[in-house]
Amino acid sequence: MHFAQRGWRVVGVDNNQRAVFFGPQGDTRWNQKRLQEQLGDNFQHAELDIRDRPGVLALLAELKPTAIVHTAAQPSTYAVGTLNLPEATLQSCPESPFVHLSTNKV
């Protein structure tokens, strides 16, 4: 929300994998809906599994983001996704800062 509230267009990438692992109580769609309602045109959702290398490459090639903040924390997606995102950044927008956040579960 921080960036969108300052006028940046934010693209959130998620495939709701938590619902697969944890059932209805793990579902993240409520947060996606909240962001869309609160941020309007400054928020866009991309339905994508960051383990999908061709999908990640295509998304970053299309968006050409000026900054990337990687916050994926689901351990099952973390390792492969963390390889895919910087590689796609280097290929599509090498001048863009890449910020990587982690959790204690990694």
Tally the domains of the chain.
2
**Positive or negative: CA dihedral 32, 70, 55, 20:** negative
> Can you give the residue range of the structural domain that contains 28?
1-47
Same domain, 40 and 78: no
pLDDT, tens only, 57-96: 999 999 999 999 998 877 766 788 889 999 999 999 999 9
User: Are 35 and 54 part of one and the same domain?
Assistant: no
Q: Do 100 and 86 belong to one domain?
A: yes
**What pTM was estimated for this model as a whole?**
0.86
Verify that 36 and 17 share a domain, yes or no: yes
Q: Are residues 33 and 71 in the same domain?
A: no
| 28 and 79 co-located in one domain | no
User: Which tens digits make up the pLDDT trace of 87-100?
Assistant: 999 999 999 999 99
For residue 66, give both structure tokens.
Answer: 């000026």
**How far lies 21's CA from each of 5, 46, 52, 66, in Å?**
32, 20, 18, 32
- 54 with 101, same domain: the answer is yes
In eight-state DSSP terms, residue 66 is: S
Measured between alpha carbons, how far is 70 from 98 in angstroms, rounded to an integer? 7
